[in-house]
Structure 1
Amino acid sequence: MQELPETMKAVVTTGVGGYDKLDYRDVPVPELERGEVLLRVLAAGVNNTEINTRLGWYSSSVRAGTDGADEGEIRDDGGWNDATPFPFIQGTDCCGRIVAAGAEVDASRIGQRVIVRACMRPNGFGDPRTVWLGSDFDGAFAHYVKVPATEAFPVDCDWSDAELASIPCAYGTAENMIARAGVASGMRVLVPGASGGVGSAVVQLAKRRGAEVVGITGAAKRDMVRDIGADRVIAREDDLLEALGAESVDVVVDNVAGPGFGTMLKVLRRGGRYVSSGAIAGPIVELDMRDMYLKDITLIGCTAWDEPVFRNLVSYIEAGEIRPLVSATYPLEKIAQAQEAFGGKAHAGKIVLLPGE
């Protein structure tokens, strides 16, 4: 086994606020406990959640979309599961290599390249409570991270580290929503925000199940969304009801929400399903109850990943059935620039941090 250093570089998020809360510094290398493995982080994806947590967006006091969060206002209830444990190391997406194994872990796992199931169910899959890598405990914005061995999944593929680091949060979230909504061959699925990390994953995963996929994106990204498998692409600026017609969609997979929420229910067919795990355009929406109950619509909230989700993703990767989009990579110490680029929304697919040696 390689000799490990006592300290490592990491980005420590010190509290709610702006980029000044991202402190790149030396910290101790994590010490393993029973059942854990230590990973040398090879790549770590950037997600909305890290930025939202730093800005306190998950607080119930915030009513704007993720672009409108107020930097600098302290919100004690601004985490996924209530209070965020500042200071701590964020980073929900992780591709890493196992370099050490704790007690009760097979030492033969050392050397495996793995991705980490970011959404963990500490009380089993019958209980919806979760803990998240990089939100509830230290994550992958570091040279090393420790995780339960059961949450580190080896993947046999020729993908780059950055490509693998694009999978956990976006594709886990997307596959979970698709499975919960029962997407199947022949269904028509509408995907707002189809050019983003989760949206582009939904497009690919819904197509993999044989669905007809309609994506919504900015006009400049229409070709990209079509290239990853969408059967039809509608510009965000277009009138959706006019473009599709009422009661024309079986499932809406929507992480956008905001002012467009009501229209999503109008384009759903009777008995249709609306599923969401986010609200980047705004968490407070107007719901016409008549659209919901008169059409027998099912509203599905998705945060806790179900047990088959991550194993399914690994199998899709190894079978060559999906491939993520990597927009850009940045060194770990350039995290502020990476998050600024992420917030600018000019990219398509994922932005990934590389810790280096």
Structure 2
Amino acid sequence: MPGLFDPLTLRGTTFRNRLWVAPMCQYSVPARDGVPTDWHLVHLGSLARGGSGLVIAEATAVAPEGRISPEDTGLWNEAQEAAWSRIADFVRGQGAIPGIQLAHAGRKASTFSVWGDERDGSVPFDEGGWQTLAPSAIAFEGYAEPRALELAELPDVVRAFADAAVRAVRAGFGLVEVHAAHGYLLHQFLSPLSNRRDDAYGGPLEHRARLLLEVVRAVREAVGPELPVLVRFSATDWVEDGWDPEQTATVAAWAREAGADLFDISSGGLVAGARIPLGPGYQVHLAESVGEDAEVPVAAVGLITTPAQADAVIREGRADAVLLGRELLRDPHFPLRAAHELGVDLPYWPPQYLRARWR
């Protein structure tokens, strides 16, 4: 089996290793215009400099109403595209593949960011909030009630993802991830707990998966045949009668046929207060299960914090890549340190830092 620092190739792209940066929201656009800032350049650039193979930018809204908070990044206009281009170029210049996660928050949009304001829940209209959208008019606990999307509006959602994917390619990103996890819009369509529609987008699994598959096909067409397309799933809602690993595997196989290349397996986010058994690598078994059942490449994420732990996930064949979040926030150079601890001699230390290299 390969190890953590062996390369991985998807379509026409080769990643220098299998230790990747998970998308992590920064809530750092004070102008509220969706344009990434110098913070994003330094944040993502540091992670690329630190040796990761893929750096995925945070959940980036495909439309203004798709932002989680007013301070989120976007990719629905040319100003945002131009700002992202500078960041993608720098990430690529450090040897990492720049990726971006395209998202629509649905009923979990228009919320206060997790830092900078002590309030929780939905931002009032008179403070810059907006009407949220969802498959059904069912609110996330503590948030404002969303408006159910009309059937005629759904092609606009698909088009927004496709248009953002085109901008991502023009900005220089080498990979696009479709966000269908954590209780956001595409996950809301997938789960029977949040989707009570009685049309072609609700009810049986093939109907609830229809919007996601249309998005994947549209994104694949938008980026062309060479760029990898990932999908992030929450493999389970951790609630009885909700979304589960078996449905995830079924839809992952369908999404692979629609043009997706690898599936980033997380969990939760749809239901407030779900009891999640947190612990080291607590979601790895979900990635392993989806990968085996659907016969698709997968990435594992969730409390992976040590080099040996990350390497074991790959060497044991439980996933094709691992994504780290908080551990990389604590130490952006974790990949360089991990290689040293695992006895791997990396050729991509930044030359400016060579005198600090472990001997």
TM-score normalized by structure 1? 0.28
Q: TM-score, normalised by structure 2?
A: 0.28
Larger strand fraction of residues: 1
